[in-house]
Amino acid sequence: MSDSQTAAAVRELARTPLYDLHCGLGARMTGFAGYAMPVQYPSGIVSEHLHTRTRAGLFDVSHMGQAILAGSQAALRLETLVPGDIAALAPGRMRYTQLLDGHGHILDDLMVTRLDDEAGRERLFLVVNAATKRADFAYLAAELPDCALTVLDDRALLALQGPKAAEVLRRHVASAAAKSVFALHFMAAGNFARDGIFLNISRSGYTGEDGFEISIPATAAPDFAQELLDEADVRPIGLGARDSLRLEAGLCLYGHDIDSTTGPVEAGLSWSISKRRREAGGFFGYEQVKRAIDHGPSRLRVGFLLEGKAPVREGAEVVTPEGQTIGRITSGGFAPSLGRPVAMGYVDAARAAPGTQLCLIVRGKPLAAKIVPMPFVPHHYFRGD
């Protein structure tokens, strides 16, 4: 047993607009990407996790980077850096894609929302990872000098996730277009009003549940968060449960399951590359991505179900029953919704079929595991009635 972080080290960190709220709720704070963030609240990770799956959880994700990329051809210009189909996005729709380098490796993964055009310029709202945001924005500014990149440092980002999220949120926001948040489908976004403040709300998230991400001016965020927490169905959820929720949902965590040594095809993200972009290319790393699509990648990200109860962590080796090392775990832990450990990692593509029996090495001992399709827990996205 050792103390992971001293209180003094936490005091040096940047704070989100909800820092005081977290402390008041009794959160255990830790350093994450240079920010003091709540790992968990007093009820604990398992309880927070299960609450999000059954009711609704409120997450502070204000550490993530938010920016608007504007330009007469902003969508086509961004397409030179990402394999996702941005030009086809209608206003109010969003996509998950990856920022690639010249080798087709992933510099970050991000959400891109097409906003309404303004003064003849296309506008894209970007949400990127906290640890990579400075590098991402420098890269975008350098590669797209003809576009204007506005970093939204003055906005907080909240996520409300879970089966009760829509019912709760509807009571607290009104749509500028006289539509309720119920009208949004998964991966759609809109502007909604609250006390004269405009919120950008998207129906998206990182838990596999129905839910929303809400971009809100930093000054208005604490009151809004408190109002949502006053709802009987809503509880605050820390980074611990955020990680276990996304793991069960089979979603990648940047810096772990994907990074600047992995490409989108081996990571199992080919679904995020449209037919047009596969055929026409025109993005950094296209050659490598196209080759991986056409000939198959040499390794693949897969999910593992463990037979025993011992969790497996990042870095564990994946070996065949004969003892040959064929891969490595990139995320692993206890899945509260399943009551058993799960993991994901990369293995040789030839051994990546669901049902394959393999061993994961934990503290020198081989633990039996089986490759299974992901997600581990079914997604519950709202795709319309």
Partner 1 sequence: MTTRYTKSHEYVRVEGGTGIVGITDYAQAQLGDVVFVELPPIGQSLSKGAEAATVESVKAASEVNAPVSGTVVDVNSALTDSPGLVNEDPSGKGWFLKIKLSDAAELDRLMDEDAYREFLKAVS
Q: Which residues here bind partner 1, judged by CB under 8 A?
A: 1-4, 6-7, 28, 39-40, 44-47, 49, 240, 243-244, 309-311, 313, 333-334, 336, 341, 363
Give the residue from 204, 191, 200 showing the smallest Cα distance to 96: 204
User: Which residues fall within 8 angstroms of residue 88, CB to CB, at 6 or more apart?
Assistant: 274, 276
Residue 310 or 353 having the CB closest to partner 1: 310
Strand partners, 194: 197
Nearer to partner 1, 49 or 235 (CB): 49
Task: Give how far Cα 141 sits from Cα of 77, 115, 127, 129, 228, Å.
Answer: 11, 19, 15, 17, 36
Task: Please report where in the chains the tokens 């980074």 appear, as a residue.
Answer: 239
The single-letter code of the amino acid at 123 is R
Q: Which is nearer to partner 1, 2 or 261 (CB)?
A: 2
Q: Which one, of 113, 122, 118, 111, lies nearest residue 75 by Cα?
A: 122
Query: Hey, how many other C-beta atoms are within 10 angstroms of the C-beta on 195?
Result: 9
What SS3 class is residue 30?
A: strand
Give least dist CB 33 to partner 1, A.
16
CA distance between the termini of the chain = 50
Please enumerate in sequence order all residues whose Cβ is within 8 A of that of 93, keeping only pairs 6 or more positions apart, or say none. 113, 114, 187, 188, 189
Torsion of CA 130, 134, 135, 138, to 10 degrees: 140
Place of tokens 């399709």: 373
- CB of residue 28 to partner 1, shortest distance in Å: 8
Beta carbon of residue 7, minimum distance to partner 1 (angstroms, whole number): 7
Least distance in angstroms from the C-beta of 362 to partner 1:
9
- H-run or E-run covering 134: helix 133-143
Name which of 45 and 201 has its Cβ closer to partner 1: 45
Residue (45 or 144) nearer to partner 1, CB: 45
Phi-psi bin for 205: left (phi > 0), alpha (psi -120 to 50), beta?
Answer: left
Which residue, 68 or 239, is less far from partner 1 as judged by CB?
Answer: 239
State the angle between helix axes of 239-248 and 45-54 in degrees (0 to 180), rounded to the nearest 10: 60
Read off the tokens for 292. 């991986």
If the CB atoms of residues 248 and 266 are measured against partner 1, the closer one turns out to be 248
- How many CA within 13 A on the CB side of residue 113? 24
Residue 166 Cβ, how far from partner 1 at the closest point, in Å? 27
Distance of CA 167 to the CA centre of its chain: 23
HSE (CB half, 13 Å, CA atoms) of 139? Answer: 18
Asked if 369 contacts 347 with a C-beta cutoff of 8 angstroms, the reply is: no
* Beta carbon of residue 29, minimum distance to partner 1 (angstroms, whole number): 12
User: What residue type is 295 in one-letter code?
Assistant: H
By beta-carbon proximity to partner 1, the closer residue of 6 and 261 is 6
Q: How far is the CB of 332 from partner 1 (least distance, A)?
A: 10
Q: Smallest distance, Å, CB 323 to partner 1?
A: 22
Closest distance of CB 361 from partner 1, Å: 14
Nearer Cβ to partner 1, position 275 or 363?
Answer: 363
Question: Would you say 171 or 309 has its CB closer to partner 1?
Answer: 309
Q: How far is the CB of 155 from partner 1 (least distance, A)?
A: 29
